[in-house]
Chain A
């Protein structure tokens, strides 16, 4: 396998992009990445998108995007793994380059969620339709069940959940592409509208339009394009039951811990070697559970850790979601996994401005689909 590098990135602002179509969003992010990397051609395209068929009535997204990018006949493939579509699109691009099949690859993700669809129903297609969604559950509902189980088992508190949102908004305030750049308080979270008990509005990532793209190439040629390539150390992926109810436990996400185990082993790293991490905080509880399942904290200690500031940029043991996370930056589902890679790239190349983590050398991105039925972990390293 060849060594693979990330050499450039582009993304749209995340938010309600009323005047931009899914094509506009994808092309804007991709052209940004192509220009940023300075590449003159692309050998292959991967597009992560969860539900363009439901959101905007458009499938066959690979072909649509190579066409509108003016790149025909380059092979272009849509990757779907619910909210992990972006991360797994990145992984497919990585494997394409690592295998030697392609030299320069565009890995992108896009979602246009604000076009009038029933967003709750569209997102719920990531859960089992016949046995979960049929019975009235929603995505906030599934994570709320995880939260209730975690609070019951580990005494995680409502305030600790709120601390995740407060921290991520504080980080996102310094991210020019973030959807919500406002500082929020624990009290605001605790007094926001209930969505699915115990989760409230400010525990939930928003509905977002947005696109993100990165360019990957083999490390051999990376220096041709940039002085600061970032190495993809390892890319792993794992699966779990589609239905939350079929799991032995609701407080550990097995796809996360399995993908992490494999990633640490292959990269010969330990959790403590990671300098910063972008985690899939679709809901505040997910950041807490995932921070435990990645081994940053003992089981049950994720809540206290965030409350004690162990995951903040300044003085944190492991800064988590310096970008603002899904919570503040926004969660255009298919784009999220790529946007996480972009944050790591910016951090590892010293371009993160006020969000910059000092001495950031190794970054980890964790992106998951559904209630954790799919998960990909990508570890990047400054070279």
Chain B
């Protein structure tokens, strides 16, 4: 992960900053410059709820090299309580316990490493509660 590219996403990855459209109220995560729902260009910054539920998921058995040490791991699409959606890896949880509709909580974890000498890259993961 090249550091300027990593640094740019910190507000979203570390503290779930999203933009709420002043036109239609849609929460965009990550923030956008124009709302895909109503084309408004005015937003306020909001922080997403760190609680939600699994809409769909998979268990990755074959990953890219970046994540090969961590297989098998689950990835899910989560709808957080304020209605926004995001993609997150599932942490800690026994894989048999991952299912559509399960309640989750978002936690702060290391997501990937840039090789052995590069950046540690952090962000959100979900834990089934």
Residues on A lying within 8 angstroms of B by beta carbon are 118, 120-121, 124, 130-138, 140-142, 144-146, 148-149, 152, 193-199, 241, 243-246, 250
Contacts and interface: CB of A to CB of B under 8 A. Distances in A.
Interface in B1-56: 1, 5, 9, 12-13, 29-30, 36, 55-56
A140 B112 contact: no
15 contacts: A120-B63, A130-B30, A131-B12, A134-B123, A135-B87, A135-B88, A136-B60, A136-B73, A136-B112, A138-B63, A140-B62, A145-B56, A145-B75, A148-B100, A250-B56
A136 B110 CA distance: 12
Contacts of A193: 61
A141 B30 contact: no
A152 B61 CA distance: 21
Contact of B111 (A135, A141, A241): A135
A136 B88 CA distance: 8
Interface string B58-69: 111111111100
Given A120-B64, A241-B36, A131 B86 contact: yes
B67 A131 contact: no
Contact of A196 (B30, B58, B76, B85): B58
A-B pairs with the 6 shortest C-beta distances? A144-B58, A121-B64, A149-B56, A197-B59, A120-B64, A145-B56
A149 B61 contact: no
A145 B59 CA distance: 9
B9, B64, B66 pick with most chain A CB within 10 angstroms: B64
Contact of B100 (A130, A133, A152): A152
A136 B66 CA distance: 8
Contact of B58 (A124, A132, A135, A197): A197
Interface in B76-111: 76-78, 85-89, 100, 111
A140 B13 CA distance: 24
Contact of A136 (B65, B75, B78): B75
Given A148-B56, A196-B59, A241-B36, A137 B100 contact: no
Chain B interface size band reads 35 or more
B58 A141 contact: yes
Contact of B61 (A121, A142, A194, A243): A194
A136 B86 CA distance: 13
B113 interface: no
A134 B112 contact: yes
B87 A243 contact: yes
B62 A196 contact: yes
Contacts of A135: 75, 87-89, 111, 123, 125
Nearest to A196: B58
Nearest to B124: A135
Nearest to B65: A118
Contacts of A245: 77-78, 85-87
Contact of B56 (A118, A120, A134, A152): A152
B70 A136 contact: yes
B57 A145 contact: yes
Nearest to A200: B61
A244 B60 contact: no
A121 B65 contact: yes
Contacts of A144: 58-59
A222 B77 CA distance: 50
A121 B66 contact: yes
A120 B67 CA distance: 11
Contacts of B5: 130
Contacts of B100: 148-149, 152
